Amino acid sequence: MKLAYWMYAGPAHIGTLRVASSFKNVHAIMHAPLGDDYFNVMRSMSERERDFTPVTASIVDRHVLARGSQEKVINNISRKDEEQHPDLIVLTPTCTSSILQEDLQNFVDRASLSSESDVIPADVNYHRVNELQAADRTLEQITRFHLDRARSRKTLDRSVTNGPSANIIGIFTLGFHNQHDCRELKRLPGESGVAVNQVMPEGGSLKCLKDLPRAWFNTVPYREVGLMTATFPEKDYGMPYISITPMGISNTADFIAQIGKLVNVWASALSEKRLNYKLYVDNQTKFVSQAAWFSKSIDCQNLAGKEAAIFGDATHAASITKILVKEMGIRVSCSGTYCKHDAERFDEQVRGLCDEVIVTEDHTEVGDTIARIGPSAIFGTQMERHIGKRIDIPCGVISSPVHIQNFPLGYRPFLGYEGTNQIADLIYNSFNLGMEDHSLDVFGGHDTKEVSTKSPPTDRKHINWIPEAELEPNRIPGFVRGRAKKNTEVFAKQNNISEITIDVMYAAKEKSSS
Amino acid sequence: MKTLEIPTFECETGNYHTFRPISCVAWLYQKIEDSFFLVVGTKTCGYFLQNALGVMIFAEPRYAMAESEEGDISAQLNDQKELERICLRVKSDRNPSVIVWIGTCTTEIIKMDLEGIAPKLEKQLGIPIVVARANGLDHAFTQGEDTVLAAMTHRCPEYNRRTADQHEGDVARHVADDVAPNRKFSDGKDRSSGGNLVLFGSLPSSVASQLNLESRRQSISVSGWLPSQKYTDLPALGEGVYVCGVNPFLSRTATTPMRRRKCQLVGAPFPIGPDGTRAWIEKICLVFNVKPDGLEERENQMWKNLSDYLEMITGKSVFLMGDNLLEISLARFLIRCGMVVYEIGIPYMDRRYQAAELLFLQHTCEKMKKPMPRIVEKPDNYSQVQRMHELQPDLAITGMAHANPLEARDIDTKWSVEFTFAQIHGSVNARDALELVTRPLRRRSDSILGCRNLSRQAVDV
């Protein structure tokens, strides 16, 4: 047993449900006790989803505990089949069903006899995998199921599309800025002459899955979900995939270079004209993305050498680390992820870019580390935002888990060239707000009422401003003058200084800014 | 005049959305200030709490998960040792006066003997450990509180009639002086022999004192609340103590003091709405043999204060999907406000504990000349949505899973969960309750560009 208050990645069934409900016309039935369908609330609230979430529960109650589910699960499957005619029903195990060790496969076998929908049990082990791993696994499972069947029915179209095309794998519901990223990702290869064959699972239709291998290649924008789905077509159908996350200028350039390489290999084989991607990247970097110019501008100069701490999922934490260090000259004191299963690769990606790497699922460890380092800004999840609040350090949210405010209505991709602009804003605003607060503090705070507040005369008796120092405060803005004076006096009193000189003033200022 | 309709109960499949009963820790840890709630369960429970409780989770709450791992499930680890280790840490970090263990589905399925382990650890740690089985196998949402309060009933000190009478007399004298300085205490003398009154149900302290005041106006003093603000101040229970519930979901808590502590239960409608509050206090007066004073004028005054809201909802229809067991009382209040209730969905209906409320509902329908709504136990959300499509109610009171999709289909909704957390008890808070009910109706503006229906699915159907 483990004492826990907070978790970064949710339980396995959440991952399965996220993938299943992202596809069109797929229904998930959870084998779970009452109240476990909280996923529906999250999807409906956070994503502001306007349609009913296609997830229901086959309720495990006292009777099920005593006699087993018996016909209940099967009846629920058939009922859903009749009511909504989904293409696929995914029977989803939960912690409860995994402890009960009911034979879900048996239910599925029996239910598929009578139902028109396909029925599969999600093959995830509750205790071994988390939300992200389960999502990865479920996506692969659904894809493989359909491709294998198409192959056995000989309906699989193995011919590649005429023009270059790509599949985008791993965009799904409740993903951090996934909707916006998807739009940006469609544009990115689009502008360079590559059509998007299919996006999955979000909005994907199972009927089209058999055409998945017609694309020239697959792209997997996020490491956490989609890699499994991309690796098996590579093995089975010789479909290459790109697993670079196009986040930040250099990553995006690498991404496009990869596209160029893959397209041109085929282009020469199909005797099409070779496409020049270098020019495109150059143009985009210089003029569409403001990030390259931003990092040259004096705004960014001011950020040079500032310290930051980063924590999030492996994809976002690694990419943001790279952006901060290589593209903005910011010092990353600590970079970390909660994706323990991907620790090795994460370490490899950020090694040399930061002073310290942490891989943990314990938010107190993250909090302690950040407090010890005391960076000027944090980039993390909602938990880090609250850690930042507690210790007064600004935080930009860069990764799940997130709140509803991280599902913005406006266009906010993190990927591609527009993404670089958004990230630059996020980073600059986080640091800048921190500096603004800080300088306000140095100058005595927000409260303009304090101007007229004089220290009680008894205090002042023992403190003597030498005339030269008396004039000094006149040089700082009037609205903070009173506070600055007061701070100096407090400092003097604390240090048993009876005469305030200019030196003492600056010592006081230094003290309050440290 | 219409004949009295007998309420009909239906029971559906139980495929409905509600919160897990463990969510009760959210309000109970805040209510019982010196407590610590330890939920013994899996990641699923933790994930639910973390997401359902929103920002509370960042406020260093006095609750935590004891998260079972694979070793716990397969009994490779010793439950008692594991819990001991965790509770020792809780003790050293927070030093609570009581640790409440919340049993979940997992502890139920693997048959973890929480009730057996607790007394042993209690002795070892020197902190009381209360065990409540608030699992999703048996309970829905607010029933979680019921399991906790029922468990706490056993920890209430024994009521000693003779010493208590003395004490109560003192209290009553003060109270009488506070409330009605002109009235002589001798008015209450014959009554004090009637025994004393303990109310059960967790309410914010301001609401609790409002209800205290309601009964003081009738010169009946409330001698204690279950739960109290502090665990160390639990009320005394025993023969001669009357107990009365303030919430409709507390049926276990109601039976436990009767069966185990020889208390007497006052079966009354619940103090929700001015009508409910009056009926509640009247029933208490009846039990204590007190002639109620000025209740009718008070109720009328309250209704008068609500007239602007009443105007807005009179004649409108409402459909309660059901998830928190407040539904019967809420429906009764809304019918009295002039609304038509199509359906009352409710997770569980204790006809004995809610008998007075059900009867009151019947009378209210009769009085307002409104049809008796159908009461659907263990509703089926899918069928409910179908029915709603036919009935087109003006308002659906529903969980968050259905709210946005229904709004997209042009049915105004109010999240039912808000009624659990908002202050709706007592006549004073009737306004707050109606504030909630009318919000979606007040917000209603002209549709944007004629889009009444904003769903994507409905286009295909």
- Tens-digit pLDDT profile for residues A213-268: 999 999 999 999 999 999 999 999 999 999 999 999 999 999 999 998 888 887 76
Task: Provide the shortest C-alpha distance from residue A367 to chain B (in Å).
Answer: 12
**For residue A390, is it within any domain?**
yes
Q: In this complex, do A10 and B64 lie within 8 Å of one another by their Cβ atoms?
A: no
| pLDDT for residue B188 | 40
**For residue A6, is it within any domain?**
no
The label of the residue with tokens 């965790």 reads B86
- Measured CA to CA in angstroms, residue A199 lies from A181, A232, A475 at distances of 12, 17, 61
Task: Spell out the CATH class of B295-446.
Answer: alpha beta
| pLDDT for residue B186 | 39
Last residue of a domain, one of A111, A129, A147: A129
The 10s digit of each residue's pLDDT in B291-341 is 998 999 999 999 999 999 999 999 999 999 999 999 999 999 999 999 999
Query: Do A74 and A117 share a structural domain?
Result: yes
Element (H, E) at B21: none
Q: Which of B50, B53, B40, B151 has its CA nearest to residue B105?
A: B40
- Measured CA to CA in angstroms, residue A38 lies from A42, B106, B216, B417 at distances of 7, 17, 42, 13
Q: Work out the widest C-alpha separation in chain A, in whole angstroms.
A: 97
Query: Do A318 and A227 share a structural domain?
Result: no
**For residue A160, is it within any domain?**
no
Query: Do A407 and A307 share a structural domain?
Result: yes
| Chain B residue whose CA is closest to A3 | B66
Q: In this complex, do A94 and B403 lie within 8 Å of one another by their Cβ atoms?
A: no
Query: How many CB atoms within 10 Å of residue B166?
Result: 8
- The residues of chain B that CATH labels 3.40.50.1980 are 21-139, 193-288, 295-446
Query: Do A401 and A312 share a structural domain?
Result: yes
Q: Which of A21, A12, A213 has its CA nearest to residue A125?
A: A12
Query: Do A473 and A429 share a structural domain?
Result: no
Q: In this complex, do B456 and A51 lie within 8 Å of one another by their Cβ atoms?
A: yes
Query: Do A298 and A266 share a structural domain?
Result: no
Residue A197 phi/psi, 5° resolution? -75, -60
Over residues B396-400, the mean pLDDT reads 93
Q: Which tokens sit at B193?
A: 């022999």
* Residue B227 pLDDT level (bands cut at 50, 70, 90): very high
pLDDT over threshold 80, residue A509? no
Query: Which residues in chain B touch residue A59, judged by CB atoms under 8 angstroms apart?
Result: 14-15
pLDDT over threshold 50, residue A514? no
Query: Do A308 and A266 share a structural domain?
Result: no
CB contacts under 8 A, B 386-445 vs A, are 399-405, 407-408
| pLDDT for residue A453 | 44
Query: Which residues in chain B touch residue A60, judged by CB atoms under 8 angstroms apart?
Result: 105, 137
Q: In this complex, do A36 and B20 lie within 8 Å of one another by their Cβ atoms?
A: yes
Residue A26 phi/psi, 5° resolution? -115, 135
Please tell me the distance from the alpha carbon of residue A289 to that of residue A299, in angstroms, as a whole number. Answer: 16
Task: Provide the shortest C-alpha distance from residue A100 to chain B (in Å).
Answer: 7
Please tell me the distance from the alpha carbon of residue B116 to that of residue A294, in angstroms, as a whole number. Answer: 65
Helix (H, G, I), strand (E, B) or coil at A339: coil
**For residue A266, is it within any domain?**
yes
Determine the CATH number of domain B21-139. Answer: 3.40.50.1980
- Among the ranges given (A158-162, A362-366, A388-392, B159-163), the one the predictor scored with the smallest mean pLDDT: B159-163
Q: In this complex, do B64 and A83 lie within 8 Å of one another by their Cβ atoms?
A: no
- Measured CA to CA in angstroms, residue A72 lies from A69, A88, A477 at distances of 5, 19, 74
Element (H, E) at A272: none
Strongest mean pLDDT among A64-73, A398-407, B345-354: B345-354
Query: Do A493 and A431 share a structural domain?
Result: no
Q: Which domain holds residue A34?
A: 12-129
**For residue A283, is it within any domain?**
no
Instruction: Compute chain B's Rg from CA coordinates.
Output: 23
- The binding site of A consists of 36, 434-435
Over residues B257-272, the mean pLDDT reads 95
Do residues A104 and A93 lie in contact, with contact meaning Cβ atoms separated by under 8 Å? yes
Q: In this complex, do B66 and A5 lie within 8 Å of one another by their Cβ atoms?
A: no
Please tell me the distance from the alpha carbon of residue B48 to that of residue B347, in angstroms, as a whole number. Answer: 19
Identity at A174, one-letter amino acid code: L
**For residue A327, is it within any domain?**
yes
Residue A106 phi/psi, 5° resolution? -65, -45
**For residue A158, is it within any domain?**
no
**Contacts (Cβ under 8 Å, ≥6 apart) of A43:** A21, A49, A53, A173, A174
| pLDDT for residue A475 | 66
Higher pLDDT, B393 or A271: B393
Query: Do A174 and A252 share a structural domain?
Result: yes
**Contacts (Cβ under 8 Å, ≥6 apart) of A177:** A406, A408, A412, A413, A414
Give the active site residues of A. Answer: 299
DSSP character string of B28-49: HHHHSTTEEEEEEE-HHHHHHH
Closest partner residue to B109 among A38, A100, A126, by Cβ?
Answer: A100
Q: Which tokens sit at A421?
A: 């602009």
Query: Do A313 and A246 share a structural domain?
Result: no
| pLDDT for residue A454 | 47
Domain B193-288 has CATH 3.40.50.1980: yes
The CATH number of residue A490's host domain is 1.10.8
Query: Do A436 and A312 share a structural domain?
Result: yes
Output the average pLDDT for chain A.
88
- Is the preceding peptide bond at B227 cis, omega within 30 degrees of 0? yes
Closest partner residue to A51 among B50, B90, B405, by Cβ?
Answer: B405
Residue length of chain A: 514
Last residue of a domain, one of A236, A270, A304: A270
Do residues A92 and A122 lie in contact, with contact meaning Cβ atoms separated by under 8 Å? yes
| Chain A residue whose CA is closest to B84 | A1
The 10s digit of each residue's pLDDT in B431-446 is 999 999 998 888 755 5
| Chain B residue whose CA is closest to A61 | B137
Q: Which tokens sit at B119?
A: 């007394």
Give the strand order in the sheet containing B35-41: A2-4, B63-67, B35-41, B98-103, B129-133
**For residue A7, is it within any domain?**
no
Do residues A94 and A55 lie in contact, with contact meaning Cβ atoms separated by under 8 Å? no
Do residues B131 and B151 lie in contact, with contact meaning Cβ atoms separated by under 8 Å? yes
For chain A, how many structural domains are there in total? Answer: 4
Q: Is B378 left (phi over 0), alpha (psi -120 to 50) or beta?
A: left
